[in-house]
Chain A
Amino acid sequence: NAGVTQTPKFQVLKTGQSMTLQCAQDMNHEYMSWYRQDPGMGLRLIHYSVGAGITDQGEVPNGYNVSRSTTEDFPLRLLSAAPSQTSVYFCASSYFPVPSGGYTFGSGTRLTVV
């Protein structure tokens, strides 16, 4: 099925551990992005990419790295997990430059850092 696939769905990390959240889309979307969702704060942009080899920071990039080696994949790396990174993470993609159909979101990764 066409769409955005995120793995894992759930993850518990210890403080200081690192991990990669995976995001893959099969719609040939140029634009991909990562958001975190926290209660009362809506969705905040972490990093985004407008094509392979091109990434940039969003609103809350600290503690996260991204890369875009292919059009399909946009992994998010947590370098040294902190309790403040406990959140639900969403990957979203769209065509570029105009998202005629809106963004397509993955189903999310619920991350808990203890």
Chain B
Amino acid sequence: AQSVAQPEDQVNVAEGNPLTVKCTYSVSGNPYLFWYVQYPNRGLQFLLKYITGDNLVKGSYGFEAEFNKSQTSFHLKKPSALVSDSALYFCAAQEGTGFQKLVFGTGTRLLVSP
């Protein structure tokens, strides 16, 4: 069965410092991988995706993610955090063939302090 793990419930980082939010996945076959962000009392917003190709994927708001097939990881990164990046981040994965049942991780709360 597909699964996604986000090992950190919360990540704390100071504004201006680089940030990493970790994600590992278990998907049979080639995975499609996604990051979403949720601000308070809002729905999830798509940040970026990996389907195929370059292992470093760039997305919205300066975020990027690195796909590592050998480590089955898809960590979210940003070179310089902003206070406004504080939100709940979800990693999601689906099997890359056939059907679109997307499986989500439990979410990681990012807190960026001034």
Closest residue on chain A to residue B45 by CB atoms: A105
Known: A31-B100, A43-B90. A103 touches B46 (CB 8 A): yes
Q: Are B90 and A42 in contact (CB under 8 A)?
A: yes
Q: Are B105 and A42 in contact (CB under 8 A)?
A: yes
How many A-B residue pairs have C-beta atoms within 8 angstroms? Tell me. 61
Q: Residue A99 at the B interface, CB < 8 A?
A: yes
Which applies to chain B's interface (DSSP): helix, strand, loop or mixed?
loop
Q: Are A42 and B107 in contact (CB under 8 A)?
A: yes
Q: Residue A94 at the B interface, CB < 8 A?
A: yes
Which residues of B sit under 8 angstroms from A48, Cβ to Cβ? 100-101
Which residues of A sit under 8 angstroms from B106, Cβ to Cβ? 40-42
Which residues of B sit under 8 angstroms from A107, Cβ to Cβ? 41-43
Given contacts A42-B104, A96-B100, 4 further A-B contacts (CB under 8 A): A90-B44, A104-B46, A108-B41, A108-B42
- Chain A residues near B (Cβ < 8 Å): 4, 31, 33, 35, 40-45, 48, 50, 58, 90, 92, 94, 96-99, 101-108
